[in-house]
């Protein structure tokens, strides 16, 4: 077991996304997962019917409990339901004395299309959290909400990524899964340039928690000492195979197979 990852995100009772998907991902890739739960959601593969935010002082206490004892080699941030929580998390992480890499998955909308974040969260993420992050991983919809850029192709994906880097993020991975075409392109933008990762689109409805899973996989790679491009490449490959081997559970957007790395041993 190598690489301690603190996950700050919401809980999904169906197990496909959120903290549950994050823990499975980190474990499957050989890391150690600790958590601070930002919200209890009521959801399944069909949609989200409730979001119940954790009181901010409890979120702060969870973060402090982990960092003061277990520690973290990387931090992954997922669903944040309101501006107050964004500001609290940003203030707490800004106090970190070491250069712990932070991976931010700006969860604004669930796979089902249901909103998970309140008004003003996107702007608060840009202002408060992006400058603290080693990488931010929006999908096309989230990239548009965060930057105001209409994302239609590889060039506009790169432009949105560059805008996020200009706001202070160390890098941005704009994910193309919500786009069209037989090939999915994910565009990684850093101060050094761009890199495109291309994979064939899988014809499936098993896409619940793909964003959570990818961000946690990247965080695990960084926690294990991998360079960012390598961590991103491994994470994309891991998610692709997890979709291919999905169990087919649920009537809507089904969960992935996070344990495929263990089953193949």
Which residues have a catalytic role annotated? 175, 207, 209-212
CB 234 within 8 A of CB 217: yes
Give the separation between CA 22 and CA 76, rounded to whole angstroms.
9
CB 89 within 8 A of CB 228: no
Give the separation between CA 50 and CA 135, rounded to whole angstroms.
29
């Amino acid at each position: 077991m190598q690489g301690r990852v603190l996950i700050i995100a919401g809980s999904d009772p169906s197990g496909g996304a959120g903290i549950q998907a994050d823990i499975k991902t980190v474990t499957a890739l050989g890391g150690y997962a600790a958590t601070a739960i930002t919200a209890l959601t009521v959801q399944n593969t069909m949609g989200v019917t409730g979001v119940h935010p954790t009181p901010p002082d409890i979120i702060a206490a969870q973060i402090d409990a982990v960092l003061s004892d277990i520690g973290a080699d990387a931090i992954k941030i997922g669903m944040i339901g309101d501006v107050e929580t964004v500001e609290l998390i940003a203030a707490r992480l800004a106090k970190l004395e070491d250069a712990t890499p932070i991976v931010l998955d700006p969860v604004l909308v669930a796979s089902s299309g249901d909103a998970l974040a309140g008004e003003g969260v996107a702007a608060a993420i840009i202002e408060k959290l992006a400058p603290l992050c080693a990488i931010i991983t929006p999908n096309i919809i989230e990239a548009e909400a965060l930057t105001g850029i209409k994302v239609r192709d590889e060039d506009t994906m790169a432009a949105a990524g560059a805008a996020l880097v200009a706001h202070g993020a160390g890098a941005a991975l704009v994910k193309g899964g919500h786009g069209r075409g037989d090939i999915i392109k994910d565009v990684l933008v850093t101060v050094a340039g761009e890199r495109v990762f291309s994979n064939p689109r899988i014809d499936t409805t098993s896409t619940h928690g793909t964003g959570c899973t990818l961000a946690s996989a990247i965080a695990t790679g960084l926690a294990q000492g991998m360079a960012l491009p390598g961590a991103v490449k491994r994470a994309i490959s891991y998610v692709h195979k997890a979709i291919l081997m999905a169990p087919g559970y649920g009537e809507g957007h089904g969960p992935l197979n996070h344990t495929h790395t263990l089953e193949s041993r």
